[in-house]
């Protein structure tokens, strides 16, 4: 069964860029679509965006101006960059698999906490 694992810095300074990577365990990265979802401490889930197997991307309109997602099939990982971060971006960031477009999130990573603080 596929596993996905987030990695990246746990602390980012305000105004800087948050960068995370999600590694896919079974080499299936080019066969599926992938997404980032975050959860501020004590709050609900917020979708950040998707990168589809075609390579196209789709972002939450509220974050679109700051988000970039990409896939590196040679390294079996996909990435998230969120620019100009503030304390409001402090959250647990999850990566998840989409079996197909407009489908469910059937596999989630364990999540990684990113704190924005100077």
Partner 1 sequence: SYELTQPPSVSVSPGQTASITCSGDKLGNKHACWYQQKPGQSPQLVIYQDTKRPSGIPERFSGSNSGNTATLTISGTQAMDEADYYCQVWDSTNVVFGGGTKLTVL
By CB under 8 A, name the binding residues for partner 1.
35, 37, 44-47, 50, 58, 60-61, 94, 102-106, 108-111
Residue 75 DSSP SS3: helix
Report the C-alpha gap between 32 and 43 in whole angstroms. Answer: 28
Q: Which candidate, 45, 46, 36, 41, places its Cα nearest to that of 90? A: 41
Q: Cα angle at 88 between 49 and 102, to 5 degrees?
A: 15
DSSP state of 65: G
């Amino acid at each position: 069964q596929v596993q996905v694992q987030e990695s990246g810095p746990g602390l980012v300074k305000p105004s800087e860029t948050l960068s995370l990577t999600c590694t896919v365990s079974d080499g299936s990265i080019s066969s599926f679509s992938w997404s980032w979802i975050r959860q501020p401490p004590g709050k609900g889930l917020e979708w950040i965006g998707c990168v589809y197997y075609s390579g196209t991307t789709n972002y939450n309109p509220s974050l679109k101006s700051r988000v970039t997602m990409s896939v590196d099939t040679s390294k079996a990982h996909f990435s998230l960059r969120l620019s100009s971060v503030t304390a409001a971006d402090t959250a647990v960031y999850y990566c998840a698999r989409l079996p197909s477009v407009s489908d469910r999130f059937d596999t989630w990573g364990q999540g990684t906490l990113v704190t924005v603080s100077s």
